[in-house]
Amino acid sequence: MNNPSRPLIPVAGPSITQREIDYVRDAAENAWFENAGMFHERFERAFAAVTGRRHAMALPSCTSGLHLALAALGIGPGDEVILPDVTWIASAAPISYVGATPVFADIDPDSWCVSAETIAACLTERTRAILVVDLYGAMPPMDAITALADSHGLPLIEDAAEAAGARYRKQPAGRFGLASAFSFHGSKTLTTGEGGMLVSDDAEFFARCQFLRDHGRVPGDVSFRSTEVGFKYKMSAMQAAMGLAQTERLDELIARKREIFAAYAARLGDVPGIKLNAEPDGVLNSYWMVTVIFPERFAGRKPALMDAFRKQGIATRPMFDPLSDIPAFAGTAQAQAARRRNSVSYDLAPRGLNLPSGYNLTTDDIDYICDAVKQLLQAGPE
Model pLDDT for residues 248-280, shown as the tens digit of each residue:
999 999 999 999 999 999 999 999 999 999 999
pLDDT of residue 58: 98
Q: Where are the alpha helices (DSSP H) in the chain?
A: 18-30, 38-51, 62-72, 93-97, 116-120, 142-151, 203-212, 237-248, 250-268, 302-311, 333-341, 343-348, 363-379
For the chain, what is the mean pLDDT? 96
| Amino acid, res. 146 | T
The answer to whether 58 and 40 are in contact (CB under 8 A) is: yes
The answer to whether 231 and 208 are in contact (CB under 8 A) is: no
Question: Where do the domains of the chain lie, and which CATH numbers do they carry?
Answer: 18-248 (3.40.640.10), 250-379 (3.90.1150.10)
Place 188 in a pLDDT band, splitting at 50, 70 and 90: very high
Q: Let me know how long the chain is.
A: 382
Model pLDDT for residues 96-129, shown as the tens digit of each residue:
999 999 999 999 999 999 999 999 999 999 999 9
Among residues 131, 135, 114, 162, the alpha carbon closest in space to that of 67 is found at 131
3-state secondary structure labels for all residues of 221-289: CCCCCCCCCCCECCCCHHHHHHHHHHHHCHHHHHHHHHHHHHHHHHHHCCCCCCEECCCCCCEECCCCC
Cβ within 8 Å of residue 264, ≥6 positions away: 276, 290, 355, 366, 369, 370
Tell me the three state secondary structure of residue 320: coil
Model pLDDT for residues 1-50, shown as the tens digit of each residue:
556 567 899 999 999 999 999 999 999 999 999 999 999 999 999 999 99
The catalytically annotated residue of 188, 257, 275, 302 is 188
Model pLDDT for residues 303-354, shown as the tens digit of each residue:
999 999 999 999 999 999 999 999 999 999 999 999 999 999 999 999 999 9
CA distance 264 to 257: 11
pTM of the model as a whole: 0.96
Give me the helix-helix angle, 237-248 and 18-30, nearest 10°.
150
Identify whether 275 is a catalytic site residue.
Answer: no
